Amino acid sequence: MKKLSITLLALVLGFAVSGCSTVEGIGKDLKKGGAAIEKAATK
């Protein structure tokens, strides 16, 4: 479980740093992060 948490945190930080300079970009990144969390939860 700890490995999953670290992976998800890395994904979220990666999206945040990837250059989303607009509110729309941040929303898209958060949506992608949520999708990754859902995918990991279903495994």
Encode pLDDT of 5-43 as tens digits: 888 888 877 777 765 566 667 777 788 888 888 888 886
Collapsing DSSP to helix, strand or coil, 1 comes out as: coil
Q: Is the dihedral of CA 33, 38, 40, 41 positive or negative?
A: positive
What was the pLDDT predicted at 22? 65
**Prediction pTM value:** 0.43
- What's the number of domains the chain is made of? 1
Determine the residue type at 40. Answer: A
Q: Which residues constitute the domain of residue 15?
A: 2-42
For CA atoms 30, 33, 37, 42, give the dihedral sign: positive
